[in-house]
Chain A
């Protein structure tokens, strides 16, 4: 019994679905954000698995860039959440509806 690439892909698909569930069900903006990070991580796992099985480093480079973008996104997103909290005194996304009319 050996570990094939399908094992990694299935685990990655499962983590992605859990991330989708988190984004759709949670009401706290910060936890929604963490679920998005989980989905990015599952995509990273797919890239690394393929890269390792193909013996090619391009997947690793892509993961490196995904990490950079995730860091930038986390910084800007949390700044937006702080600005929203200052305005509405809540992080519940049901109560943040200032873009609706």
Chain B
């Protein structure tokens, strides 16, 4: 077993287990902490995939900024704990899990039918080159400068919108 395989199974199982724990805990703070663990292990997977910039951005933006915002709101509002996962309306929950299982098996069927690994072989040099900050920055400021500006404008609009919505009353 190569190091890549070991790290994939380590981070992959960590991400999967953290996701399952996240949706089954009744306390929202514990859910948020396990979502942070899930995002950190996804950042590890991005590093295995040679995506250095995305891995660092994942830690800073998701695990840093967004989850701090979530935890801040949870502690501000102090929502009461839900009941245990299967304690309230178990029929609805079993139906929901059934729906999600159908979604999963559809994806799995498509993946094994399509067999993308028989079509693409990883070219390690090109893959390392594609993930560098240099390459992403070059693309962002040449071919994708208009979406980049639009993303900046979207963030400005979201900031103003969040301020206006959470303000006490409108004048």
Residues of A within 8 A of B (CB): 1-11, 13-22, 24-28, 30-31, 33-35, 37-38, 41, 44-45, 48-58, 60-61, 63-65, 67-76, 78-83, 85, 90-92
| A–B pairs, 27, beta carbons within 8 Å | A2-B2, A7-B8, A10-B108, A14-B19, A15-B16, A16-B104, A16-B107, A17-B101, A18-B23, A18-B100, A21-B97, A28-B82, A34-B22, A34-B35, A37-B35, A48-B54, A49-B49, A52-B50, A52-B51, A52-B131, A55-B122, A60-B131, A61-B136, A64-B57, A65-B147, A71-B158, A78-B69
> In the assembly, what is the distance between CA of A30 and CA of B12, in Å?
25
Instruction: Compute how far the CA of A43 lies from the CA of B31 in the bound complex, rounded to whole angstroms.
Output: 20
In contact, A82 and B147 (Cβ under 8 angstroms) = no
Across-interface contacts of A8 in B (CB, < 8 A):
45, 49
Closest CB-CB distance, B144 to chain A, in whole Å? 6
Q: CB-CB < 8 A to A82: which residues of B?
A: 73, 76-77, 165-166
A-binding residues in B (CB < 8 A) = 1-2, 4-5, 8, 12, 15-16, 19-20, 22-23, 28, 31-32, 35, 38-39, 42, 45-46, 48-51, 53-54, 57-58, 61-62, 65-66, 69-70, 73-74, 76-77, 79, 82, 85, 88, 92-93, 96-97, 99-101, 103-104, 107-108, 111-112, 115-117, 120-123, 125-127, 129-131, 135-136, 139-140, 144, 147, 151, 154-155, 157-159, 161-163, 165-166
Known pairs A15-B15, A18-B23, A57-B131; A5 contacts B116 (CB<8 A): yes
A91 touches B77 (CB 8 A): yes
Q: Are B62 and A41 in contact (CB under 8 A)?
A: yes
Asked if A81 contacts B35 (CB within 8 A), the reply is no
Q: Is the CB of A31 within 8 A of B112?
A: no
Known: A37-B66, A45-B42. Is A76-B158 also a contact (CB below 8 A)?
A: yes
Taking a contact as CB atoms under 8 Å apart, the answer to whether A21 and B100 are in contact is yes
CB-nearest residue of chain B to A74:
B66
B106 to chain A: closest residue by CB: A13
Q: Which residues of B contact A11 (CB under 8 A)?
A: 12, 15-16, 45
